[in-house]
Structure 1
Amino acid sequence: MTAPLLLDAIADDARRIAALSRDMGRHVSIDPEMLLQRDIALQPPGLWSPNRHCRLVQARDGWMAVNLARQDDLASVAAWLECDDADAPWDAVIGLVKERATADLLERSILLGMPVSVVGEAPLAQASELHPATRPERALKVLDLSALWAGPLCGALLADAGLEVTKVQDPARPDPTAVATPVHHQRLNGRKSHVSMTLASSAVGAALDRCDVLITSARPHALARLGLTPDAVFDRHPQLIWVAITAHGFMGDNAMRVGFGDDTAAAGGLISRVDGAPSFLGDALADPLTGLRAAHLALRAIVEARAGLIDVALASSAADFARRAGLR
């Protein structure tokens, strides 16, 4: 059951979004409980996340969240822990992490590109530095290059607010939600226009020329290969709002870190305590909370006629909601 104070914090952001959308001539209504749902078989939260891909484990000097959702992560356990138990990765994690220091484990996981975090490590979210902008009289256009949950949810809420949102699907890297969670996918992307486009093609630049808001969920080095760097984008599109959603931040030392909804929720301290041990509160909570926060920040930038890069990290968004829910 979701913590009541967390639902209160979500409802508070929902009211802010409703007020901003009314200023734009629409009314966006958000059900806090529904915001956190997706059509997937789940187990009760505890040391294991409800989807059973992430586990809270105790290291020598603290608790960590280890997320082995991808085959690459399972295959990296032996190198991460310098062991031979490649055939039983979870046994190795549970048995060996307790002998190691969190700092060493975190450093090695980052080098290997694994979604691992220390519980409560994430700083609170910082305000983005935006500059004044001029908005066109027409309906604003959004280019949604994101995937999975947080970015598409941001786009869905912007569509509810009356923006024209185009969801880009790269045929080489399709968004897995359409197959894995079709009802959830429809809720996130059903109100958007859809185009199939290779992200490495010049068509992305042409599409960007026609949009007012850009949503991404890739790390900066991947976007840089597409020519999407802050300098290049804002030199050409100074009036653009770029919502950059990442695990631990688009700028700075953590920009290369990998993370998903459960491990970044733990990084933000969005967990409960049961007999002194941490416990997950829900399913990949950092994802919907980040999507909500990103939409709020984007709508506020539109209403206030501001532009620039809105850096929205899953971990720091979780930390912000954890603070507001009295969990840190």
Structure 2
Amino acid sequence: MHTNTSATAAVLRDWVQSLCPSDVLSRPVETQPECAVLAWAASGAMDLTGRSDGAPVVSPAAAYGLLLETAEALARITAQIGSEVRADPGLLLAGRAGLLNLRRGGQQTAGGAGRLLRTSDGWCAINLSRQDDIDSVPAILGLDSVGDDPWETLTAAAREWTATDLADRAQLLGVPAAALPPAAYPAAALPGAERPSDALPADARSADARSADARSADARSADARPSDARSADARSTDARSADARPSDARSADVVPAAADSAAALAADVHREAALPAAAHPADVLPAAARPATGLADDAARPVDRPSAAPSATPDHQCPWQTMRIADPVVGARLDGLVVVDLSSMWAGPLCAHLLGRAGARVIKVESTRRPDGARRGDPRFFDWLHGGHEQTAVDFHTPAGRETLRELVSTADVVIEASRPRAMAQLGLAPGERVHRDGQVWLSLTGYGRAEPMRVAFGDDAAVAGGLVGWDAGEPVFCGDAIADPLTGICAALAVCCAVLGGGGQLIDLSMRATAAAFASAPALTHGPHRVLVDGADWVVECPHHGRSQRVLQPRVPQLDGMK
């Protein structure tokens, strides 16, 4: 059987070994599907990847294969230290889209607030999810004002900028933006390369691909651009559903496989460090995009790697960095451990939810003045992530409120926060400035890591920063729905479980960019090609190697009593 299961399993063993010396992943995995491409098609996330008027894209399937292994590792470790958690990877990635009835938008995010813009040397993702972001467009471009449609102005102006310069300029003004790293490009799709369809790599083109002229920004802008006032929740499902499904008359495409602190602080993470909503190995990233080699100044001493053996997967990076903040506790378990969740939106709450399912007691802490931003959207999304959690609201602006928060953090076995390091320091909660109880695990979620606290990130642009995109006819398209958020959530849960299994006493620095980068560098698939064919109102993926096919499924709506 020609699969890459052993390679992805080796990646997960390395990840686990970076936090604990367990051999829990030593026995072979027997539950993985034969073909990650067919699993990707069934997940609901493939249906969210690609142009709205074209075939869904196969190319991120290797990353999905790595996610399957991540979910298997989480199941095995939770079974050792608590209740086994069998998470559904497809539901993790596409559950929000199922609730909100989102569809793929190609170079527009599924939620509608972000775009991939062609620049003079590549591609840049920009997210205008808030009115402040829209209002910042003139300053980003150095203009006095822009027209009624800021996207039209940005799209035209982007071609005069390099991707890095445009992203840096937007970040300077607090607008989430990211350049697609050079290492992410297929060889024939490198900026400036000649790109005739017969020269594109198999994973980056579809047969009978549309011509470059037909895909020009001007030709597509009217259909692709939502009005400024539209939110993801408010976008018309009917208007997009017709575009999302193929017509019977379309020809088949052939696509071979690709080789927060409590809400006040959480709002900072979303805009200033990482949530709703990161790219190839560090040695191939441009200097500005390389993961930091150390943590922020308020971190403590580094954790020695339990195993002295060299990495089995030197070309595939780990999504987290760790530091020792307290002594470990032998025999620690998740059952009954107290998790204080100060995060908001998606990644942190997803981590907390998975830990709760494993047996931990989760206390959700929000600011009385700035509740979790997820409450502003469809309430089912918030309920999906927080079902069964204890919830409390604290006023961080009062001495009594701050003392309550400090008590909660001091007594917690696991702390989940997603804010700038300085925000926690202002509350007297910086992990490097306090004494931690033995075995305490501190999970710090950011957009770009604690060493780059000023950069903001949302799930879609963080994925681009990490190089995790799909490829359609030589051009990048967004992968899934804010995919760096749920990937970070499940990786965070795995990291915390590994830390507990190893006795705890660690600070885990986990960024959305590093997470996306880890999945973007997943071991390449070892069989193919795979064909994506139209079948009436559906798309079907065929795997000739295994003689099987799979209909591309739309995102499912999760149960509100848990992610089963």
2:490 equivalent to 1:292: yes
Q: Distance in 1 between matches of 2:426 and 2:438?
A: 21
Deviations 1:171-214 (A, max 9, x none): 21111223413222122111211111123422100111211110
2:92 equivalent to 1:31: no
- The one-letter amino acid paired with 1:95 is A
2:453 equivalent to 1:244: no
Q: Distance in 2 between matches of 1:75 and 1:239?
A: 46
Shift in Å at residue 219 of structure 1? 1.8
- Paired residues in the alignment total 324
2:316 equivalent to 1:118: no
1:73–1:114 CA contact under 8 A, matched in 2 = yes
Q: Which residue of 2 aligns with 1:164?
A: 361
2:335 equivalent to 1:278: no
Q: Which residue of 2 aligns with 1:99?
A: 160
Q: Which residue of 1 aligns with 2:131?
A: 71
Q: Which residue of 1 aligns with 2:63?
A: 6
Q: 1:218 aligns with which of 388, 409, 419?
A: 419
- The one-letter amino acid paired with 1:133 is P
Q: 1:88 aligns with which of 146, 149, 153?
A: 149
1:77–1:86 CA contact under 8 A, matched in 2 = no
Q: Distance in 2 between matches of 1:111 and 1:239?
A: 38
Q: 1:51 aligns with which of 111, 115, 123?
A: 111
Decide which moves more: 111-120 or 318-327.
Answer: 318-327
Q: Which residue of 2 aligns with 1:261?
A: 459
SS at match of 2:112: coil
Deviations 1:16-38 (A, max 9, x none): 11111111131101111111111
Deviations 1:121-167 (A, max 9, x none): 65443532346412668721110000000000000011011111100
Q: Which residue of 2 aligns with 1:133?
A: 328
Q: Distance in 2 between matches of 1:19 and 1:157?
A: 13
Deviations 1:23-81 (A, max 9, x none): 11311011111111112232313010111111000111121100111111111111011
Q: Distance in 2 between matches of 1:215 and 1:260?
A: 18
Q: Distance in 2 between matches of 1:307 and 1:92?
A: 50
Q: Distance in 1 between matches of 2:363 and 2:124?
A: 38
1:45–1:282 CA contact under 8 A, matched in 2 = no
2:469 equivalent to 1:229: no
Q: Distance in 2 between matches of 1:259 and 1:222?
A: 17
2:327–2:438 CA contact under 8 A, matched in 1 = no
2:373 equivalent to 1:199: no
Q: Distance in 2 between matches of 1:324 and 1:12?
A: 11
Shift in Å at residue 86 of structure 1? 5.9
SS at match of 1:291: helix
Q: Distance in 1 between matches of 2:153 and 2:77?
A: 49
2:516 equivalent to 1:315: no
Q: Distance in 1 between matches of 2:483 and 2:375?
A: 20
2:65 equivalent to 1:21: no
TM normalised by structure 1 equals 0.93
Q: Distance in 2 between matches of 1:205 and 1:86?
A: 48
Is the alpha carbon distance of 1:103 and 1:8 closer, same or farther for their aligned partners in structure 2, counting shifts above 3 Å? closer
Shift in Å at residue 326 of structure 1? 4.1
2:321–2:510 CA contact under 8 A, matched in 1 = no
Deviations 1:214-250 (A, max 9, x none): 00111222222222212223x2445321111111112
- The one-letter amino acid paired with 2:149 is A
Q: Distance in 2 between matches of 1:43 and 1:212?
A: 39
Q: Distance in 2 between matches of 1:272 and 1:88?
A: 27
Shift in Å at residue 90 of structure 1? 1.1
Q: Distance in 2 between matches of 1:103 and 1:180?
A: 32
By percentage of residues, which structure has more helix? 1
TM normalised by structure 2 equals 0.55
- The one-letter amino acid paired with 2:161 is R
SS at match of 2:322: coil
- The one-letter amino acid paired with 2:101 is A
Structure possessing the higher radius of gyration over alpha carbons: 2
Is the alpha carbon distance of 1:88 and 1:238 closer, same or farther for their aligned partners in structure 2, counting shifts above 3 Å? farther
Q: Distance in 2 between matches of 1:40 and 1:219?
A: 29
SS at match of 1:49: coil
Q: For structure 2, list consecutive stretches of 5 or more residues without a partner in the other structure.
A: 1-44, 47-59, 182-278, 280-288, 291-316, 526-564
2:355 equivalent to 1:150: no
Q: Distance in 1 between matches of 2:420 and 2:476?
A: 29
Q: Distance in 2 between matches of 1:147 and 1:275?
A: 37
2:462–2:513 CA contact under 8 A, matched in 1 = yes
Q: Distance in 1 between matches of 2:427 and 2:386?
A: 23
Q: Distance in 1 between matches of 2:320 and 2:374?
A: 30
2:439–2:503 CA contact under 8 A, matched in 1 = no
- The one-letter amino acid paired with 1:210 is T
Q: Distance in 1 between matches of 2:168 and 2:465?
A: 15
SS at match of 1:8: helix
Decide which moves more: 241-250 or 127-136.
Answer: 127-136
Q: For structure 1, list consecutive stretches of 5 or more residues without a partner in the other structure.
A: none
SS at match of 2:364: strand
Q: 2:409 aligns with which of 198, 201, 208?
A: 208
2:164–2:178 CA contact under 8 A, matched in 1 = no
1:286–1:315 CA contact under 8 A, matched in 2 = yes
